[in-house]
A and B are shown apart, each in its own frame.
Chain A
Amino acid sequence: MTDTTSLAEKLTAHFKDTISGCETDRDQITLVVSPSHLLSTCEALRDEDDFSFSQLVDLCGVDYSTYGQVDWATEETTATGFSRGRNKTSVSINNEQRFAVVYHLLSIKHNHRLRLRCYLPEENPTLASVTEVWSSANWYEREAYDMFGILFEGHPDLRRLLTDYGFIGHPFRKDFPLEGNVEVRYDPDQERVVYQPVTITNRVLVPRVIRDDHRYIPDEEPSDA
């Protein structure tokens, strides 16, 4: 792998007007692009000799609406404790940045990788399609549409990909229940498979907790001790 810092410097120098952030974490570079600049940035990343990201390795949606939320308080005491059967969904912390589309690019020529992120609002998340830039985006965008309801403008054939024919909802959104909304069974009277509301409930066996673990905090200031 080539040096990530020099690539990061080149990226910030080249895209200083269009990107809203460039950070390196654990040797991986993330570029944050605003939706309006996405297409031009992608084309430059593919065609500029310094970058030549010839491959779009991965494209996926992310729903940030419950980021950092936990089931169980670990810092203070509560009167109720944790109920295993409970169904919590308090969605949306930041409507303007609820969704993100994340692109993973690979440059065969220079042997480096890059992550590109585009935040999208909760209302009508729409983004330009990059199928013209990389053909592999076709199915990835269909999947992101299917799972998160993110629309890609200019996509040649934006149909659902993984879910059932006639499926309603976008299952990987955080407000979509894990057990789903409908289930199927064979109805002997009608002699066909019928849909019905789910009869199972979700049991959370292990509550989601966040604990401060000082061992894994990256050493910002080398301690004097």
Chain B
Amino acid sequence: MPEIRNMTMNFGPQHPAAHGVLRLILEMDGEVIERADPHIGLLHRGTEKLAESKPFNQSIGYMDRLDYVSMMCNEHAYVMAIEKLLGVTPPLRAQYIRVMFAEITRILNHLMWLGAHGLDIGAMTVFLYCFREREDLMDCYEAVSGTRMHATYFRPGGVYRDLPESMANYKASKWHNKEEAKRLNNNREGSLLDFISSFTERFPGCVDDYETLLTDNRIWKQRTVGIGVVSKERALQLGFTGPMLRGSGVEWDLRKKQPYEVYDKLNFDIPVGTEGDCYDRYLVRIEEMRQSNHIIRQCVDWLQQNPGEVILDDHKLTPPAREEMKGDMESLIHHFKLFTEGYCVPEGEVYVPVEHPKGEFGIYLISDGANKPYRVKIRAPGFAHLASMAEMVKGHMLADVVAVIGTQDIVFGEIDR
């Protein structure tokens, strides 16, 4: 009898379904995976070490670049860690703004995930649908921070500035004629909050659209039902968090269980799966989008009725207004000290987690009392998820590897850090 040997296959690092730079070494018996060994680190930038050499505020921008599809959620954990060490609480309006943008970010992330996951396993259309709505949310990012992705909007003590009273409008150009520009500008006449409000009215219908494309789709179910099943016990053992854990039937969401900011004042539900397969995790994430939309709605209502401060008035921590600085000597000194030296954070250590769209994103911050962190450890949810790759794909077909990578919602910015 001829000798049959397993074949070793190299998947990535340049592969469209690898979601960035994942190199997988697959040992295959025919088309069945015997062993999978992910090689990561191709996007390792040493964020944690870089943060040690910079004043606290200068690292906020690095946080955006970790999980680069849910930017503000990363900032959120970092900023809350600093606040916890300092012992300060941001104004209530800032907390509502943060929660609203954290949920906008969750929708952004899940849309990106849904589009890419669909594309990976053969559903082209949903990608285009998702990116249509993503565009509007990116505009919200742009309106508050000036950039569409790397916002650096959350600051220790609040947010960088209040929500703008107007939205940028489309101009007639060779791509959009006058009528089309007018149609696009329809909901951009008012403030940012009006724009978000109109989005929240429209969005549930959009989610229905995605669901008609996928939820009962025979091919979609064939590709996801019973693929990558993880039991409750294994999910806990493997350090799963977020939708990956909830998909396996564990009722756990930090927004409910260990509420931070104003989540305890908001009304929302936590979807939980039963089977722990790719299809359940898909359903969980779809429902999370609806719930996030509901949360945004409540935040918009509150924010419209409650104007106020959005950042602490403590100029040892937050910069004074530009006008003040021009006329007032003390403000000038505060400004100078903040931007040349930063602020010192009292000695101590904290671990602050947030419910990031992908799971539990935590910042472990050690300060020795200096103006720079002594050590920052970023607990990325995707890291634990990818570590379980070998276990999840064992015994599956090669094509299912792509479905598992998709369902884990892998983004290398946060895994490699």
Q: Quick one: given A178-B53, A216-B86, are A135 and B237 in contact (CB under 8 Å)?
A: yes
Q: Give which listed residue, A26, A138, A164, contacts B84 with CB less than 8 A.
A: A26
Q: Could you say which residues of chain A place their CB within 8 Å of the CB of B241?
A: 57
A55, A171, A178: most-surrounded residue (chain B CB, <10 A): A55
A26, A58, A63: most-surrounded residue (chain B CB, <10 A): A58
A54–B236 contact, CB under 8 A? yes
A interface residue count range (under 10 / 10 to 19 / 20 to 34 / 35 or more):
35 or more
Q: Which B residues, 343 to 366, have Cβ-Cβ distances below 8 Å to chain A?
A: 343-346, 348-351, 353, 360, 362, 364, 366
Q: Could you say which residues of chain B place their CB within 8 Å of the CB of A162?
A: 40-41, 44, 416-417
Q: How far is the CB of A224 from chain B (nearest CB, A)?
A: 22
Q: Could you say which residues of chain A place their CB within 8 Å of the CB of B237?
A: 54-55, 134-136
A91 contacts chain B at the CB level, 8 A cutoff:
no
A163–B239 contact, CB under 8 A? no
A25 contacts chain B at the CB level, 8 A cutoff:
yes
Q: Give CA–CA (A63, B372) in the complex, Å.
A: 15
Interface of A, helix, strand, loop or mixed by DSSP: loop
Q: Give CA–CA (A16, B345) in the complex, Å.
A: 32
Q: Could you say which residues of chain B place their CB within 8 Å of the CB of A164?
A: 41
A-B CB contacts (within 8 Å), total count: 127
B316–A215 contact, CB under 8 A? yes
Q: Give CA–CA (A136, B387) in the complex, Å.
A: 7
A62 contacts chain B at the CB level, 8 A cutoff:
yes
A216–B370 contact, CB under 8 A? no
Q: How far is the CB of A177 from chain B (nearest CB, A)?
A: 10
Q: Give which listed residue, B238, B369, B375, contacts A68 with CB less than 8 A.
A: B369
B377–A60 contact, CB under 8 A? yes
A206–B341 contact, CB under 8 A? yes
Q: Which B residues, 232 to 266, have Cβ-Cβ distances below 8 Å to chain A?
A: 234, 236-239, 241, 250, 252, 257-258
**Chain A residue at minimum C-beta to C-beta distance from B381:** A57
Q: How far is the CB of A1 from chain B (nearest CB, A)?
A: 5
A216–B351 contact, CB under 8 A? no
Q: Could you say which residues of chain B place their CB within 8 Å of the CB of A171?
A: 46, 49
A108 contacts chain B at the CB level, 8 A cutoff:
yes
Q: How far is the CB of A4 from chain B (nearest CB, A)?
A: 12
A194 contacts chain B at the CB level, 8 A cutoff:
no
**Chain A residue at minimum C-beta to C-beta distance from B337:** A211
B112 contacts chain A at the CB level, 8 A cutoff:
no
Q: Give CA–CA (A161, B415) in the complex, Å.
A: 11
B55–A161 contact, CB under 8 A? no
**Chain A residue at minimum C-beta to C-beta distance from B345:** A216
**Chain B residue at minimum C-beta to C-beta distance from A216:** B346
Contact with B along A58-88 (1 / 0, CB 8 A): 1010110001101000000000000000000
Contact with A along B330-346 (1 / 0, CB 8 A): 00000000001111111
B50–A108 contact, CB under 8 A? no
Q: Quick one: given A161-B40, A162-B40, are A136 and B239 in contact (CB under 8 Å)?
A: yes
Q: How far is the CB of B29 from chain A (nearest CB, A)?
A: 21
Q: Could you say which residues of chain B place their CB within 8 Å of the CB of A28?
A: 349-351
B54 contacts chain A at the CB level, 8 A cutoff:
yes
B387–A204 contact, CB under 8 A? no
Q: Give CA–CA (A205, B60) in the complex, Å.
A: 17
A208 contacts chain B at the CB level, 8 A cutoff:
yes
Q: How far is the CB of B362 from chain A (nearest CB, A)?
A: 6
A56 contacts chain B at the CB level, 8 A cutoff:
yes
B379 contacts chain A at the CB level, 8 A cutoff:
yes
B87 contacts chain A at the CB level, 8 A cutoff:
yes
Q: Give which listed residue, A1, A70, A209, contacts B258 with CB less than 8 A.
A: A1
A108–B250 contact, CB under 8 A? yes
Q: Give which listed residue, A57, A140, A163, A206, contacts B55 with CB less than 8 A.
A: A206
B374 contacts chain A at the CB level, 8 A cutoff:
yes
Q: Give which listed residue, A104, A163, A204, A208, contacts B364 with CB less than 8 A.
A: A104
A217 contacts chain B at the CB level, 8 A cutoff:
yes
Q: Which A residues, 21 to 70, have Cβ-Cβ distances below 8 Å to chain B?
A: 25-26, 28, 30, 54-58, 60, 62-63, 67-68, 70
Q: How far is the CB of B212 from chain A (nearest CB, A)?
A: 35
Q: Lowest 7 A-B CB distances belong to which pairs?
A: A136-B239, A162-B41, A139-B387, A58-B379, A60-B377, A216-B346, A135-B237
Show 15 A/B contacts (Cβ-Cβ < 8 Å), sorted by A: A54-B236, A57-B362, A62-B377, A63-B375, A108-B236, A134-B237, A139-B386, A140-B383, A162-B40, A163-B41, A171-B49, A206-B54, A211-B371, A213-B346, A216-B345
Q: Which residues of A contact B (CB under 8 A)?
A: 1, 25-26, 28, 30, 54-58, 60, 62-63, 67-68, 70, 102, 104, 108, 111, 113, 115, 134-136, 138-140, 161-164, 171-172, 178, 204, 206-211, 213, 215-218
